[in-house]
Amino acid sequence: MAAIRTNLEKSAVLRRKLADLPLRPGCYLYRDEKGNLLYVGKAKVLRNRVKSYFQQKRLDAKTRRLVARIWDLEFIVCETELEALILENNLIKEHFPPFNILLRDDKSYPYVKLTWKEAFPKAFVTRKVRKDGSLYFGPFFPASTAYRAVELVYRFFQIRDCDIEIDGKRGRACLKYQLHRCTAPCIAAVSQEAYREQAKEARLFLEGKRDELKARLEAAMWKAAEAAAFEQAAQHRDALQQVDAWFTRQKAASADLEDTDIYGSALLDGQACVHRLLLRDGRMVGRQEYLLDEVEVFDGEVLAQVLQRVYSTEPPPSRLLVETEPANGPLLCDWLTGLRGTRVRIRVPQKGEKVDLLAMAQENARMALERKFEPARLNEAVLEGLQAFLGLSHLPRRIECFDISHGQGREVVASCVVFTDGLPDKARYRRFKMTVQENDDFANMREAVQRRYRRLQAESQDYPSLVLIDGGLGQLHAAQAALEELGLAQLELASLAKKEELVFRPGLAAPLKIPKSSPVLQLLQRIRDEAHRFAVTYHRALRAKRTLQTELTQIPGIGPATAKKLLQAFGSATGVRAATGEALTEAIGPAATKRVLAWSLGPSNSQ
Domains and CATH numbers, the chain: 2-100 (3.40.1440.10), 111-249 (no CATH), 260-369 (3.30.420.10), 398-535 (3.30.420.340), 554-600 (no CATH)
pLDDT at residue number 5: 47
Q: Indicate if the pLDDT at residue 401 is higher than 90.
A: yes
Nearest to 48 by CA among 18, 71, 76: 18
Q: In angstroms, rounded to a whole number, what is the distance separating the alpha carbons of residues 485 and 453? A: 11
Cα–Cα distance measured from residue 524 to residue 513, given in angstroms and rounded to the nearest whole number: 12
Residue 33 has pLDDT above 60, yes or no: yes
Within the chain, how many helices (H) and strands (E) appear?
A: 20, 20
pLDDT, one tens digit per residue, over 101-155 is: 766 554 556 778 889 888 899 988 887 777 788 888 766 655 677 787 788 778 7
CB 195: neighbour CB atoms within 10 A?
22
pLDDT-derived band of residue 607, with 50, 70 and 90 as boundaries? very low
Gap between the terminal Cα atoms of the chain: 85
Q: Are strands 398-407 and 466-470 parallel, antiparallel or unpaired?
A: parallel
Q: Quote the pLDDT of residue 448.
A: 94
- Residue 605's SS3 state is coil
Task: State the pLDDT confidence band at 377, using cuts at 50, 70 and 90.
Answer: low
Average pLDDT over residues 468-493: 94
Contacts of 498 (CB under 8 A, 6+ apart): 470, 528
pLDDT tens for residues 240-268? 666 655 554 443 334 456 788 999 998 87
Buried-exposed string 287-319: b where 16+ CB fall within 10 A, e elsewhere: bbbbbbeebeebebebbbbbbbbbbeeeebbeb
pLDDT at 599 over 60: yes
Percent of the chain with pLDDT over 70: 85
pLDDT score of 603 more than 60: no
Query: Which one is predicted more confidently, 145 or 354?
Result: 354
pLDDT at 64 over 90: no
> How is the chain split among helix, strand and coil, in percent rounded to 5?
50, 20, 35
pLDDT for res 250: 42
The pLDDT, as a whole number, for residue 514 is: 83
Q: What is the DSSP string of 541-555?
A: HHHHHHHHHHHHHTS
Peptide bond into 316 cis (omega under 30): no
CA of 565: how far to CAs of 328, 593, 595, 597, 605, in Å? 64, 12, 14, 15, 21
Alpha helices, DSSP H only, in 312-352? 329-340
Give mean pLDDT, residues 59-79: 83
What percent of the chain is modeled with pLDDT above 90?
23
pLDDT at residue 84 above 50?
yes
Strand partners for 424: 419
CA–CA gap between residue 344 and residue 276 (Å, rounded): 17
pLDDT above 80 (res 477): yes
**Mean local confidence (pLDDT), 416-423:** 92
**Could you tell me the pLDDT band of residue 2, with boundaries at 50, 70 and 90?**
very low
Q: Can you tell me the mean pLDDT for 316-341?
A: 91
Phi, psi at 73, each rounded to 5°: -140, 155
The pairing of beta strand 319-321 with beta strand 260-268: parallel
**Is a pLDDT exceeding 70 seen at residue 161?**
yes
Quote the pTM value.
Answer: 0.40
* 273 pLDDT more than 80: yes
Cβ(285)–Cβ(278) below 8 Å = yes
Q: Looking at residue 129, what DSSP letter applies?
A: -
Q: In this structure, are residues 332 and 345 in contact, taking their beta carbons and an 8 Å threshold?
A: no
Q: What is the 3-state secondary structure (H, E, C) of 63-108?
A: HHHHHHHCCEEEEEECCCHHHHHHHHHHHHHHHCCCCCCCCEECCC
CA angle 499, 502, 505 (to 5 degrees): 135
Strands (DSSP E) contained in 314-392 are: 319-321, 345-347
Whether the Cβ atoms of residue 593 and residue 579 lie closer than 8 Å to each other:
no
Rounded mean pLDDT of 439-457? Answer: 91
> Smallest Cα–Cα separation from 284: which of 366, 361, 336?
361
pLDDT at 378: 64
DSSP 518-533: -HHHHHHHHHHHHHHH
Distance CA 535, CA 541 (A): 10
Q: Do residues 583 and 575 touch, judged by C-beta distance below 8 A?
A: no
Cα Rg of the chain (Å, integer) = 32
Between β-strands 345-347 and 319-321, what pairing exists: parallel, antiparallel or unpaired? Answer: parallel
pLDDT mean over 389-396: 90
**Would you give the distance in Å from CA 40 to the centre of its chain?**
27
pLDDT digits (tens, 9 = 90+) for 209-233: 666 767 777 777 787 777 777 766 7
Per-position b or e across 229-248, b if 16+ CB within 10 A of its CB: eeebbebbbebbeebeebbe
Going by pLDDT thresholds of 50, 70 and 90, the confidence category of residue 303 is very high
Residue 202: what residue type?
A: A
